[in-house]
Structure 1
């Protein structure tokens, strides 16, 4: 029996990009074509398959059940093609892109990264900063580092836990010396990050502390700005141990009340079912470094005990 001719590869590729972004405009930007060209290629694919893949008004198209099923198979397939092409171009050198929380990268990952690169000269690591949820039906990076909450779902991802998550109250040493107890801390200027506005409430619940209403609050867009503001003495912050560990250990921040363990953890996420020796090596290195990472100080002590 003669096999049916496959649909045009360009049409499949265009549909995959649209399905990943769920946007004609963003698909056109990635492919460097016009909005109309994306629409025409999807129409060609639908005609070739005899199946409706998208529905709805032109400005708000959604995937049909058939479109979702096709996209779920196309994205890993095109990802594998991209990996093969990149490996061929680079010869023995494999470049991997890791999406990471910005403050974690600055304070924990990058200072340790030279050790991985020295042990694996055949691997290049490209970092990208993001706090967004990971969805490998859409995302094309090779791995991601995120804080994972219990029962969180990450589509098409394999997750490897490599660090526990602790948070605690930190501030400049001179400021913390003037705050003898948690009641005094509760009345100090509170710093918070827009990426986790509930940090104070979350910490208070875990620590069993009843917070009084804040006298003054200052918000920062990202955790690294929050940490620098705390170092400067602008107020008191609740921050993850891994974001402030270098500054606590160096004496730029004080944490006399210690850190409480959160039910979440730091995990390395990678596309489900995609085998890659370079990504395997990076994951295993993260686990080993996590085991060597210093634990947070206990209450009423410095880092040295």
Structure 2
């Protein structure tokens, strides 16, 4: 077996992750010259330049980036395997997750995760966009794309949008629709799309990557176009639209996980109207080569169980608790 200089590999990983030889030296408790020496030794062995150097700044070359992606996972596996044999049960994991999913669904559940699995030390990396699947970004991900063949995926949720507003705004809607003369009922008469268009519609740009795309899809589901007379109030993110709805500014389209656990869910009313499936499916993703890591699989099973228990997915969706 022909291996590169093994002492140089953790030095290379630290320098690449921190984009600094001096920061890598501090983390590894060695001198900066020792870092430079190890990197030079590795570059000589590989016959490729791994870093571009400009004064105190360093940046990975394309070859360096490819090499980091290839060896980063292997180094993590060696660390995890050693910790298990040494009896160190703690699993340090970085989970990259959409900010709305993290704030509205995951964060309220984290105390239960810590209680059930105190050995997992979970750090959240919040993202406003779909994350790049790479060990450099995180150890595991919640993503809507399954475009990397190096990763495995477990379904958590298939998104659907439905209209909501505040309790006070719901009473206003009932008054304007002439329903306030009758007692409110659980089987309230559905609101027709033409009636919905009479009120301000809070739109989230990020769902369909265009202004008004969410409400266009909602009206299209009913077989009609978004009326030209509709008053759209635009936000970049669903969290912002939901906050606007909380403060009685109109009707927002939201999804199940946004209202699944927070105590303030009682502030909102789900209007008696149809929903629309966006086509986005949320998956827990992990690198297939790391499928034996106990921490990743424990987190995966817990997330799937929580998604089933909270009604985001059915127990039969996907492959539940498969042995890996």
TM-score normalized by the length of structure 2: 0.68
Query: How far 1:244 moved relative to its partner?
Result: 2.7
The answer for the alignment partner of 2:160 in structure 1 is 166
Partner of 1:254: 270
- How far apart, in 2, do the equivalents of 1:98 and 1:89 lie? 25
Alignment-derived partner of residue 103 in structure 1: 100
Change (3 A) 1:8 1:97: closer
Q: Which residue of 2 aligns with 1:276?
A: 293
Q: Which runs of 5+ in 2 are unaligned?
A: 26-31, 178-190, 314-324
Which residue of 203, 206, 212 maps to 2:218?
203
SS of corresponding position for 1:141: coil
1:303 maps to none
Higher relative contact order (CA 8 A, sep 6+): 2
User: Which among 217, 238, 257 is matched to residue 253 of structure 2?
Assistant: 238
**Mapped partners of 2:121, 2:59: distance in 1:** 39
Rg larger for: 2
Whether 1:63 and 2:73 are equivalent positions in the alignment is no
Query: Residue 53 and residue 128 in structure 1: after superposition, are their counterparts in 2 closer, same or farther (change >3 A)?
Result: closer
RMSD (Å) for aligned C-alpha atoms: 4.0
Alpha-carbon separation, structure 2, partners of 1:251 and 1:73: 48
Give the equivalent residue in structure 1 for 2:193. 182
The structure-2 alpha-carbon separation of the partners of 1:54 and 1:120, relative to structure 1 and needing over 3 Å to count, comes to: closer
Q: 2:148 aligns with which of 154, 162, 167?
A: 154
Contact map agreement 1:135 1:157 (CA 8 A) in 2: no
C-alpha distance in 1, partners of 2:24/2:221? 49
Distance (whole Å) between structure 1 residues aligned to residue 89 and residue 59 of structure 2: 44
Matched length: 281
Specify which of 286, 289, 292 is matched with residue 309 of structure 2.
Answer: 292
Q: Aligned pair 1:123/2:129, yes or no?
A: no
Q: Which runs of 5+ in 1 are unaligned?
A: 297-305
Q: Distance in 1 between matches of 2:224 and 2:196?
A: 11
Q: 1:249 to 1:215 in 2, by over 3 A?
A: closer
* 1:302 paired residue number: none
1:192 to 203, 228, 231: 203
Post-superposition shift, 1:268? 0.7
Whether 2:153 is the aligned partner of 1:137: answer no
Q: TM-score under structure 1 normalisation?
A: 0.72
1:73-92 pair list within 5 angstroms: 73-83=70-80, 91-92=88-89
Find the aligned partners of 1:153 and 1:219 in 2 and give their Cα distance.
28
